[in-house]
Structure formats: C-alpha cells, structure tokens
Chain A
C-alpha cells in the first residue's frame, strides 16, 4: 500500500513527540487503544489555566505510520485552540487532511478518541481551577 505524502511527511518528521509530567497544572492526558489491537496513543495537552487555550501538546504512539501521522497532526491542530474548539476536531478532518485509505480510518478515530480523552482528563483535573468563563463551560458540559 502506498502512503500519501502527508502521512510520510508526518511519519518522517513527527511533530511534538514527548511527554508532560502528568500532574503539571493544566495538563490533560489521554491514553487510548490497546496493544493487542496494534494501536496505542498517548496524547497530552497543556492548557493555560487563565485563558483556557491549549499552549502545547505532545504525543507518543504505538501503531502504524498512519496512526503516528494522525496523532502528530492532532497535536499540531490542538495548539492554539481553546478547550472547546479542540473538542470539535473530528476524525473525518484527519482522514481528509492525511488522505487516509478506508483501512486506516480507525487510526483517525483513535486520534479523535485520544483528543477527547485528554480533554476530559484535563477537565476532571483542572476544570475547577481554570478561569471563570472556562469553569462555567466545564460545569455545563459535565452536568
């Protein structure tokens, strides 16, 4: 199977590989997938607690080239978005950007799951200490 240029580019030069210490203020961690399925993604966001903006994002992925590219792209897109904007990233956006073939769509689904898991971990840990507007939004979504 031939890969799209964008998948190859992300695979060769993955953005934002690494980890934040989990208990750093503003950090939310998502760990999704399963080793026996051949895909595990760890995606972390670091949110500015005053503004609610994602200032940094990091990932580590066990999986095929498309899984690595999907998570690399996700971290790129997350940076600069607010927590609410981040929740709107859809797997289909990743499919379109990376031109993933049908057998690789699950990689994009996993990336979306990782984003959601990181956001919900962030909200659970730091939702209370975030800025006023941010806290209100969190209260609405978690009710």
Chain B
C-alpha cells in the first residue's frame, strides 16, 4: 500500500477515532438525541440506556466492578482537576498534605500548584533515571496530614509504567486515597482498579481512538467509599459529582472505544511493541550517541522516546514535517523556552532534553510507515549533525562540557 503523508506518529498527543466508534456515535446526534436525565419519556430512556452501556464498557476496561463508579467528564484534564481538588476540599478537615511526582502531566502539576497557593502542602517525589518512582520515597513522604497520593500510571513522554499496585497497597496501608492519571495507559494495557488498589483514576477517550471532549473519573464506592466535592454545581448529574448534561454521542463513542480497546488489547499491544522495537533498533543501530529515554521494559508498547546528542529536537521535526508527525521535548516546540521537565527529571543533561523526540505508534501504524520514519529520521539526524558545531567539536575530541558557554 502506498504511504500516505504525513505519517502520524504522535498518538500520545491524540489518536484518530476508530471508524467503528464514529458509527456508534452518529445516531445519537440525530434520531437518538434525548437527554439521559429525562425520566418520563422514551427519548430520555433511550439516551440513559446508551449512557449506562457506555459506563459499563468503560468500567470493564479499567476493572471497576460497579459501573456507577464511572463519572463522565470532559476529558483527562477535568478528571484530574476533579480528583485532586475534589479530594482536597472534601478531606480538608483531615489533612492538607498531598504526595505526587515531578513527572505528572501539566494538569496534575498545575492543580497541585494551585492547591499549594490555597494552603495545601505538596511533596513532589523525584523519579529514577528510568522514570520509575521509588515506592519507598512515597512512603517516606507520607505524613499524618496526607490525604492523597497522586501518581500517573504511565508517562506521556517516556511511557514508563509505574508500580501502581505497590503504590495502591501502600495507600491502603496508610489509609490515604490514591489517584492515578491513566490517560496514557487506559486502553493500552490491562488495568484493574481492584487489584491495584486504585481509589480514583482519570482517563480520556481521545487517546484510545475515541472522540475528543469526553473522559472519565473512576471514583471508588466501596472499601473505602471515596467522596469528592464537585467543581460544577447544577442538576446533580453523575451522582452529584459532575453536573451538566452529558454529551451522549461522545459518551457512546467513548464506551465503544473502550470496548474495542479491551477486545484487541492483547494482539494490538504485541503488534505495536514489535513495531516500536523495530523502529528503536533501526534508529539506535544506525545513529551514534542516541539514547533511549525511559525504562527499557516497563513502558507503554506504543511509546519510543530517544535523545539525539548534538541536534535540537525541533529542527529534527522540521526536517520531517512533510513526511511524519512526532513531538519533541525541545523548548522550541513550546512557547515556554523551557525544555521537557520530564526528560530533565530523569537526569538527562539539559542539552539532551532539547534533543528528545517522541515517536508514538497507534492502531493504524503499518510496517512500511515504521520503516520509512526510521530511515528518514536517521537521514535527518545525519544532515543536522553535519551542520552542528557541537558534533564538530565532539568529533575533534573537545569535551563540550569543558567549554565555558555564556548562557543567556
């Protein structure tokens, strides 16, 4: 099959909708348009039944025993906000301390910072060079005032999968609520909130081949019953935790997406891991001074993050713009002028943080695409190194760290 450009390898930013998901959604825009909270007529009953089915599909994906534990939101960011702020407000009398990590996604970190401004104390646990959080570091951070532990399931940049079950067990032992941001992990790997001792879990549809604009927060009902203060006041939908008319077509799409992910997961994760390994080997075997970021084994099957010494990430992506879409931890890809805090947190030099490229594969990635992107990446790196003063210095045997750089 002929390649279609640009090849999409940025599925950890978003995924295309699976056509089966779109098919499931369409009737709910037009003929089945009822409000799921309309209790007195068939339009409402039909919509409610569709929402309940989706709730069950999402619950199954994450191992929730009771579909009522799934609260629909507008997406991952809202779920994370609701979990952290909701627990903070509800349990304020009990304590004002939260334990989280330095590599949470921006929503997690930004909510934590806001809570700090409101008088909460937050401990940001560091990570090891492979991106793993040391469970003992979390244990040591817990105080009698700790009300919440929030640790992401798998990282959005480097794909490292945390030992969530160990953290869940620790949380149970200490009687602290445990939230995990599973926006990247859900639909990609088996998750069981019961076995892992997860009390709150955030996920989103658009990273699992569902539509943008819908997500969910799992809220445990038993052992312990977790309570959160709502952020949205209104009709008391979603058991009072998230008022607002549910976007039924999106919810239906989310449910269908979750169902498909669960069905195809064993085969899909094997296939993507094999393609990812092929891409990784193809690049690392042909490029010197290129380094894998994240844990070599404990990582999402579709994630590959590599730092290329002596070239800057944005310039690599620019060289591939017309052919392939990836993302970079380079400061130049954002407006902040700060390179990736995740790559910096795993102990890479700042220079390498500017040089990281994330390839993320997906359901529709083909063998030919992987082969093409791997080959072109190697070529672009070669071209950019030919014009890199740092590569030239390194080849002359100059230690770049020995130069006194005048940082601006």
Hey, which bits of chain A sit against chain B, CB under 8 A?
1, 3, 8, 11, 14, 17, 19, 31-42, 59-68, 103-104, 106, 110
Please tell me which stretch of B139-147, B175-183, B277-285, B385-393 contacts chain A, meaning at least 4 of its Cβ atoms lie within 8 angstroms of it.
Answer: B385-393
Output the nearest chain A residue to B328 by Cβ-Cβ distance.
A64
Report yes or no: A36 in contact with B350, Cβ–Cβ below 8 A: yes
Residues of chain B in range 356-408 having any CB-CB distance to chain A below 8 Å: 386-392, 400, 403, 405-408
A40 touches B314 (CB 8 A): no
Choice from B310, B314, B386, B389 contacting A64 with Cβ under 8 Å: B314
Look across to chain B and name the residue whose beta carbon is closest to the beta carbon of A8.
Answer: B318
Nearest chain B CB to A64 CB, angstrom units: 4
In the complex, besides A41-B389, A65-B315, 4 extra interface pairs with C-beta distance below 8 angstroms are: A59-B387, A62-B389, A63-B315, A67-B315
Which residue of the partner chain A has the closest CB to B335? A103
- B390 close to A64 (CB less than 8 A): no
B354 touches A38 (CB 8 A): yes
CA separation between A38 and B400, bound complex, in Å? 13
Q: Of B318, B331, B349, B390, which one neighbours A40 at CB under 8 angstroms? A: B390
Q: Which of B310, B332, B333, B405 contacts A34 (CB 8 A)?
A: B405
With A19-B392, A38-B339, A38-B354 as known contacts, state yes or no: A60 contacts B387, CB within 8 Å: yes
Most buried by B among A1, A33, A37, A41: A37
A17, B386: Cβ atoms closer than 8 Å: yes
Partner of B406, one of A17, A32, A60, A64: A32
Write 6 A-B pairs (CB below 8 A) sorted by A numbering. Answer: A1-B333, A35-B405, A37-B408, A38-B351, A63-B332, A66-B332
A11 touches B389 (CB 8 A): no
Cα distance, A31 to B389, chains bound together (Å): 9
| Interface of A: prevailing SS | mixed
- A110 to chain B: which residues have CB within 8 Å? 408
Q: Which residues of B contact A39 (CB under 8 A)?
A: 312
The answer on a CB contact under 8 Å between B407 and A37 is yes
Report Cα–Cα, A8/B319, bound state, in Å. Answer: 9
Task: Decide if B330 is an interface residue (CB 8 Å cutoff).
Answer: yes
- Decide: A17 near B387, CB < 8 A? Known: A36-B349, A36-B407: yes
Hey, which chain B residues are within 8 Å of A37, CB to CB? 407-408
List of 9 A-B pairs having minimum Cβ-Cβ separation, nearest first: A34-B405, A64-B332, A36-B350, A42-B389, A35-B351, A38-B354, A60-B389, A64-B314, A65-B318
Verify B332–A60 contact, CB threshold 8 A. no
Contact B315 A64 (CB under 8 A): yes
Residue of A nearest to B317 (CB): A65
Chain A neighbourhood of B312, CB < 8 A: 38-39, 62-64, 67
A40, A60, A64: the one contacting B330 at CB < 8 Å is A64
- From A110, which residue of chain B is reached at the shortest CB distance? B408
Query: Contact check: which of A11, A36, A38 meets B332 at CB < 8 Å?
Result: A38
Partner pick for A61 among B333, B337, B387, CB 8 A cutoff: B387
B318 touches A3 (CB 8 A): yes
Q: Confirm or deny: B311 has a beta carbon within 8 angstroms of a beta carbon on chain A.
A: yes
Report B-chain residues with C-beta under 8 Å of the C-beta of A11.
315, 318-319
Complex Cα spacing A59 to B339, Å: 24
Most buried by A among B312, B315, B389, B392: B389
Known: A60-B387, A103-B337, A106-B408. A36 touches B314 (CB 8 A): no
- A41 and B330 alpha carbons, distance in the complex (Å): 17
Task: List residues of chain B with CB within 8 A of the CB of A32.
Answer: 406
Whether A36 touches B315, Cβ cut-off 8 Å, given contacts A62-B388, A64-B330, is no
Q: Which residues of B contact A65 (CB under 8 A)?
A: 314-315, 318
Q: Are B330 and A14 in contact (CB under 8 A)?
A: no
Contact: A36 with B387, CB < 8 Å? no
Please, which residues of chain B bring their CB within 8 A of the CB of A8?
A: 318
